Each structure stands twice: as structure tokens, then as C-alpha cells.
Amino acid sequence: MDLQDRVTELESRLAFQDDTIETLNDILVTQQRAVERLQLQMTALLKRQEEMGAQFESSEEEAPPPHY
């Protein structure tokens, strides 16, 4: 294999690796956005659960109805 063939082979591999890296980067960006969206949803759900828990706690502390 002469020098020109080796250089061509290396350039071909480099181009393939660049394409692979770009594809992986796109996938990583998509996954990061999904993770951020899930974190926001989790935060909202936790806040909602705390609010609902506070509502139930306050109703449990109320005095029993007069007919007891």
C-alpha cells in the first residue's frame, strides 16, 4: 500500500468519525432536552404533591362535625 492509498484511507476514516461524532452529538442534545423537560415535570409534580398534602393535612386537623 503506497502513501497515497494510506492517506486516502485515513481521510475516509476521519470523515466517517466526524459523521459519527456529529450524529452522537445530535442524539446527546436531544436526550439533554428530554432530561431537562422531565426535570421540570418532576419539579411541578413534587410541588403539586406538597400542595395536595398540605390540603389534606389541614382538613385532618379540623374539628369533627357537631354530630359526633
* pLDDT score for 60: 59
* pLDDT score for 65: 73
* pLDDT score for 68: 60
The Cα 20–Cα 48 span in angstroms is 42
Q: Per residue in 2-21, pLDDT tens?
A: 999 999 999 999 999 999 99
Burial string for 18-43 (b: 16+ CB within 10 Å, else e) reads eeeeeeeeeeeeeeeeeeeeeeeeee
Q: What percent of the chain has pLDDT over 70?
A: 88
Cα angle 63-65-66, degrees, rounded to a multiple of 5: 110
In 17-68, beta strands by DSSP E: none
